[in-house]
């Protein structure tokens, strides 16, 4: 086998002649019971059209191909059920001895070495298809609806219900649910027993067990570590330029034994979407790249001609029918073209920008929430958010799929960033919009923006120390505390974290902030330019020239970042506004198609926002919990503003002020890294008192009381505490649980209110002031005649609450969920 492996390295696959094919007994083909196997030339996919030599196997497990006959993991597996037909394709692209294999998703073209091979392959595939038809045409009396191949499958039982998954060798995922928890275990045991009996004869994955043993040997491991170290050095020697992903295969991305499991913890790829108030971006990295260099993150431009080093404006254009038309800079350009085209009426189109902020400012968010576009026309908010997320998701997937052949959306762990100061209903709104956009809930994680920034900054400083650059490692050593100030377009998010002994982050003061982002500056500059230009004339231009409005907004957004303390501000006016060229006022003047604003007046524009940011920082830093904070990390697009940075450095000169390069990209990159790590954040602090309101039909069972001593007091008015304000919440751990007796036999739909209170002391009843219902727990229980006891268990799942309901008598778990959207 080793001799053949060296030969493979010396000769490319397409140079191997049929006569040199190994006849060793240890090769894969001699271990898998198959109908036919052998070498052939396969045409690449859409992004790789060259022909490559591969080893093909046709068996009951499906049609598979490998990079060589010694490799144990196929590059791809096609189930027999997915094959639609086979036929000769002689003459295809000028080649002879070619047959085509037509599947559900793609047609494969394969060139074999001899006419007998061609006849053998087409004959055996046809026979397999005939056997399949016979099986489907003669099912048993139970009417078979499908088949699941379990011999090479992996199992993934859920923790909190009766559900388990079967992930087949071809990548198909089947979700099965049993009636009881014990039944689920019986099924899993039966499947594992079947797999064990087959593997004892064949070895795992149809090869001898020693193959995997060789993979895990000390010698191989040390060689692998040496290769990783060498690649890491090479990566550092060429700087931070992202590695080219083109033409990677799945063998380069994942280890063979991991290719059949699709969970957040071991997905092949992590993709992050930073959906911002002003700008949005996306990036991804493969698991193999992360292991070699966590900072090797690939950014994908959202605009056709955009740069991957900067984000795109959060703008979406919908056509008159309410369908998605364009996103980002392309949406702005297309809308300008519509405005300048006399044949089109741009007012019939929907143009939305900076709409994310409404999830923070609007009270009572619901699923039917509406958004107004630039002309005051309304559309459903969930549709707009879903369209944007779907567009960004597709951009990332197309790029990743082109880089790694065989990648599917099931292989990607999706991360979407949200402000830390968002409430539960806003977070759930974002999750449901992502689901509507086609992202699998079980492969989706919401990431708090300041936490993502902190994780990335920690890696950057460690990387600097390794490469010999100046680094602020003191900020991230064990026990150190720092503030993350995420200065976005809409909100300013502030969190305080401590580095634990394990290098993970623990929140030591709850997240806080407010609507003091960069958009606040934009509105004030707009108002000032309007007064200099002349209010009436300005309004007339804005109404007459839609494109002028868009151009001026863009000029303000880009120009405000360059303003330094004590200097004038200069903004270029759109062409349609340049007719008013000689205007002078106390605040500034207009000349040569530009507006000049005096330094004093522009300082006043920034003063309100900067004062509120600094005042809140001072308030947070004055707390006892933050007395050991030594550094402030400034991230987000607004952190690039010179005026803001200089003021913070002057005001908080006793602290280390760290503002990384390209601060607008820090959250996005940090979200990618967090997707690869199992638990970078181990705990947070509760921002409010959280409690439950018990409905009629349920009676709480005191924890120290026996069933015979239950009281009949009115629990409906009680505030049952879940979490006290300021209490540490450990990620993935139980927060609280309560047991209830069901007093009504007809009660099957349970609704328990979730309440919050911002007071320092927790309320005792729900009737007290400042006690607000933010959502409810909904659970469905089976109708049983005997008295039932149910237990509600609440835990913290990443950035959201998770609920489990259990019938105490049966130990049966049933569906329960937290609903924060009405």
- Same-domain pairing of 52 and 115: yes
Asked if the model's pLDDT at residue 207 lies above 50, the reply is no
pLDDT given at position 809: 66
- Same-domain pairing of 7 and 123: yes
Contact in structure between 643 and 606 (CB atoms under 8 Å): yes
Q: Does a structural domain hold residue 100?
A: yes
Q: Of 137, 170, 192, which closes a domain?
A: 137
- Interhelix angle 518-533/535-544, rounded to 10 degrees, is 110
Whose CA is closest to 273, among 394, 183, 441? Answer: 394
pLDDT band at 713 (very low <50, low <70, confident <90, very high): very low
Contact in structure between 451 and 674 (CB atoms under 8 Å): yes
pLDDT band at 764 (very low <50, low <70, confident <90, very high): confident
Contact in structure between 481 and 496 (CB atoms under 8 Å): yes
pLDDT given at position 161: 61
Distance CA 650, CA 637 (A): 20
- Same-domain pairing of 10 and 106: yes
Q: Which tops the pLDDT comparison, 746 or 545? A: 545
Lowest model confidence (mean pLDDT) among 37-51, 656-670, 746-760: 37-51
- Same-domain pairing of 202 and 133: no
Asked if the model's pLDDT at residue 233 lies above 50, the reply is no
Return all residues near 123 (Cβ < 8 A) that are at least 6 apart: none
Asked if the model's pLDDT at residue 231 lies above 90, the reply is no
- Same-domain pairing of 35 and 129: yes
Q: Does a structural domain hold residue 740?
A: yes
pLDDT given at position 297: 92
Q: What is the mean pLDDT of residues 379-401?
A: 92
- Same-domain pairing of 710 and 812: yes
DSSP H or E stretch at residue 359: helix 358-361
Full DSSP string of 799-816: TEEEEEEEETTTTEEE-E
pLDDT given at position 66: 85
pLDDT > 70: what percent of the chain?
Answer: 75
Q: Of 107, 137, 167, which closes a domain?
A: 137
321-369, pLDDT tens digit by residue?
Answer: 889 999 998 998 898 888 877 677 777 899 999 898 888 887 778 888 9
Contact in structure between 719 and 755 (CB atoms under 8 Å): yes
548-590, pLDDT tens digit by residue?
Answer: 888 888 888 888 888 888 888 898 888 777 666 677 788 888 8
pLDDT band at 749 (very low <50, low <70, confident <90, very high): confident
Q: Does a structural domain hold residue 429?
A: no
pLDDT band at 18 (very low <50, low <70, confident <90, very high): very low
pLDDT given at position 124: 87
Contact in structure between 720 and 704 (CB atoms under 8 Å): no
Q: Does a structural domain hold residue 798?
A: yes
Hey, which residues does 691 pair with through a beta bridge? 721, 755
Beta strands per DSSP E along 438-538: 444-448, 481-487, 492-499, 505-514
- Same-domain pairing of 104 and 162: no
Lowest model confidence (mean pLDDT) among 292-306, 387-401, 781-795: 781-795
pLDDT given at position 580: 60
Contact in structure between 113 and 25 (CB atoms under 8 Å): no
413 by DSSP, 3-state: which?
strand
Q: Does a structural domain hold residue 15?
A: yes
Ramachandran assignment for 811, one of left (phi > 0), alpha (psi -120 to 50 degrees), beta (any other): left
pLDDT band at 704 (very low <50, low <70, confident <90, very high): very low
Contact in structure between 245 and 401 (CB atoms under 8 Å): no
| Phi then psi dihedrals of residue 495, to 5 deg | -130, 155
Distance CA 631, CA 654 (A): 9
Enter the tokens of residue 428. 């759930």
Enter the tokens of residue 353. 């920008």
Asked if the model's pLDDT at residue 390 lies above 90, the reply is yes
Q: State the chain's mean pLDDT as an integer.
A: 77
Q: Does a structural domain hold residue 68?
A: yes
Q: Which tops the pLDDT comparison, 805 or 714? A: 805
Contact in structure between 489 and 354 (CB atoms under 8 Å): yes
602-629, pLDDT tens digit by residue?
Answer: 989 888 889 999 999 999 999 999 999 9
In total, how many domains does the chain have? 3
Which residue is listed with tokens 């868009």?
550
Q: Which tops the pLDDT comparison, 248 or 504? A: 504
Distance CA 521, CA 561 (A): 10
395-440, pLDDT tens digit by residue?
Answer: 999 888 887 877 888 889 999 999 999 988 999 999 999 999 999 9
Q: Which tops the pLDDT comparison, 326 or 141? A: 326
Q: What is the mean pLDDT of residues 238-265?
A: 47
Q: What is the mean pLDDT of residues 795-800?
A: 79
pLDDT given at position 672: 95
Q: Does a structural domain hold residue 806?
A: yes
pLDDT band at 810 (very low <50, low <70, confident <90, very high): low
- Same-domain pairing of 110 and 159: no
**CATH code of 103's domain:** 2.30.29.30
- Same-domain pairing of 12 and 90: yes
- Same-domain pairing of 732 and 762: yes
- Same-domain pairing of 698 and 811: yes
pLDDT given at position 742: 80
Q: What is the mean pLDDT of residues 595-605?
A: 90
- Same-domain pairing of 18 and 48: yes
Exposure of 536 by Cβ count < 10 A (0-12 exposed, 13-18 middle, 19+ buried)?
Answer: exposed
444-493, pLDDT tens digit by residue?
Answer: 999 999 999 999 988 776 555 444 455 565 678 888 999 999 999 889 99
Enter the tokens of residue 117. 């091979």
Q: What is the domain extent for residue 798?
A: 686-819
pTM equals 0.67
Q: Does a structural domain hold residue 291?
A: no
pLDDT band at 271 (very low <50, low <70, confident <90, very high): very high
Asked if the model's pLDDT at residue 734 lies above 80, the reply is yes
pLDDT band at 307 (very low <50, low <70, confident <90, very high): low
pLDDT given at position 579: 65
């Amino acid at each position: 086998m080793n001799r053949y492996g060296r030969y493979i390295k010396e000769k490319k696959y397409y140079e191997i002649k049929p006569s040199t094919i190994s006849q060793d007994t240890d090769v894969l083909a001699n271990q898998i019971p198959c109908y036919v196997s052998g070498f052939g030339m396969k045409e690449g996919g859409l992004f790789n059209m060259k022909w490559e030599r591969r080893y093909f196997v046709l068996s009951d497990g499906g049609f598979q191909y490998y990079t060589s006959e010694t490799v144990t993991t196929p590059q791809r597996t096609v189930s027999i059920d997915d094959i639609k037909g086979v036929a000769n394709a002689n003459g295809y692209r000028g080649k002879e001895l070619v047959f085509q294999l037509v599947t559900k998703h793609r047609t494969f073209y394969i060139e074999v070495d001899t006419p007998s091979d061609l006849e053998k392959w087409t004959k055996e595939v046809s026979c397999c298809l005939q056997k399949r038809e016979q099986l489907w045409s003669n099912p048993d009396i139970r009417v078979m609806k499908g088949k699941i191949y379990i011999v090479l499958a992996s199992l993934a039982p859920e923790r909190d219900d009766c559900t388990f998954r079967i992930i087949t060798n071809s990548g198909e995922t089947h979700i099965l649910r049993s009636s009881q928890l014990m039944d689920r275990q019986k099924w899993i045991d039966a499947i594992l027993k079947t797999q064990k009996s087959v593997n004892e004869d064949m070895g795992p994955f149809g090869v001898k067990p020693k193959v995997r043993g060789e993979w895990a040997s000390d010698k191989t491991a040390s060689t692998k570590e040496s290769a990783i170290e060498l690649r890491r050095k090479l990566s550092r020697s060429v700087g931070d330029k992202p590695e080219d992903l083109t033409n990677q295969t799945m063998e380069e991305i994942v280890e063979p034994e991991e290719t059949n499991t699709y969970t957040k913890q071991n997905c092949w790829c992590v993709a992050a979407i930073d959906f911002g108030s002003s700008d949005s971006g996306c990036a991804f990295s493969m698991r193999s790249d992360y292991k070699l260099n966590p900072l090797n993150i690939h950014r994908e431009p959202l605009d056709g001609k955009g740069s991957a080093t900067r984000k795109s404006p959060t703008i979406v254009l919908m056509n008159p029918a309410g369908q998605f038309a364009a996103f980002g800079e392309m949406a702005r350009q297309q809308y300008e073209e519509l405005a300048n085209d006399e044949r089109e009426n741009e007012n019939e189109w929907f143009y939305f920008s900076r709409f994310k902020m409404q999830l923070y400012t609007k009270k009572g968010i619901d699923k039917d929430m509406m958004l107004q576009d630039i002309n005051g026309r309304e559309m459903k908010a969930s549709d707009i958010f879903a369209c944007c997320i779907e567009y960004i998701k597709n951009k990332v997937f197309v790029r990743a799929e082109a880089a790694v052949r065989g990648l599917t959306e099931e292989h990607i762990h999706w991360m979407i960033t949200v402000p830390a100061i968002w409430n539960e209903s806003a977070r759930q709104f974002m999750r449901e919009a992502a689901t509507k956009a086609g992202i699998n809930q079980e492969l989706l994680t919401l990431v708090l923006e300041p936490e993502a920034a902190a994780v990335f900054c920690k890696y950057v400083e460690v990387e600097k120390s390794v490469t010999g650059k100046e680094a602020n490692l003191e900020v991230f050593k064990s026990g150190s505390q720092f503030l993350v100030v995420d200065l976005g377009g809409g909100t300013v998010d502030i969190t305080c974290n401590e580095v634990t002994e394990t290098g993970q982050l623990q929140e030591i003061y709850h997240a806080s902030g407010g609507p003091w982002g960069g958009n606040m500056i934009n509105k004030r500059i707009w108002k000032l330019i309007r007064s200099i230009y002349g209010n009436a004339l300005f309004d007339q231009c804005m109404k007459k020239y839609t494109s002028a409005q868009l151009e001026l907004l863009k000029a303000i957004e880009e120009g405000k970042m360059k303003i330094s303390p004590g200097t004038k501000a200069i903004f270029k006016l759109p062409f349609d506004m340049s007719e008013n060229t000689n205007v002078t006022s106390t605040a500034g003047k207009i000349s040569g198609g530009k507006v000049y604003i005096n330094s004093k007046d522009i300082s006043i524009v920034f003063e309100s926002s900067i004062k509120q940011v600094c005042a809140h920082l001072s308030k947070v830093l004055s707390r006892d919990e933050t007395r050991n904070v030594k550094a402030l990390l400034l991230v987000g697009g607004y952190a690039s503003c010179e005026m803001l940075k200089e003021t913070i450095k002057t005001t908080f000169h006793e602290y280390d002020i760290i503002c990384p390069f390209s601060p607008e990209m820090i959250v996005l990159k940090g979200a990618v890294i967090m997707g690869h790590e199992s638990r970078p954040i181990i705990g947070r602090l509760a921002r409010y008192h959280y409690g439950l309101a018990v409905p009629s039909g349920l009676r709480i069972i005191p924890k120290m009381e026996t069933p015979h001593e239950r009281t009949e007091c009115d629990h409906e008015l009680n505030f049952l505490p879940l979490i006290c304000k300021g209490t540490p919440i450990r990620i993935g751990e139980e927060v609280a649980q309560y047991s209830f007796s069901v007093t009504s036999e007809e009660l099957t739909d349970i609704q328990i209110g979730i309440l919050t209170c911002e007071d320092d002391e927790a309320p005792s009843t729900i009737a007290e002031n400042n006690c607000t219902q933010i959502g409810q727990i909904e659970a469905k229980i089976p109708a049983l005649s005997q008295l039932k006891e149910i237990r509600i268990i609440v835990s913290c799942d990443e950035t959201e609450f998770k609920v489990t309901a259990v019938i105490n008598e049966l130990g049966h778990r049933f569906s329960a969920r937290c609903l924060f959207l009405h």
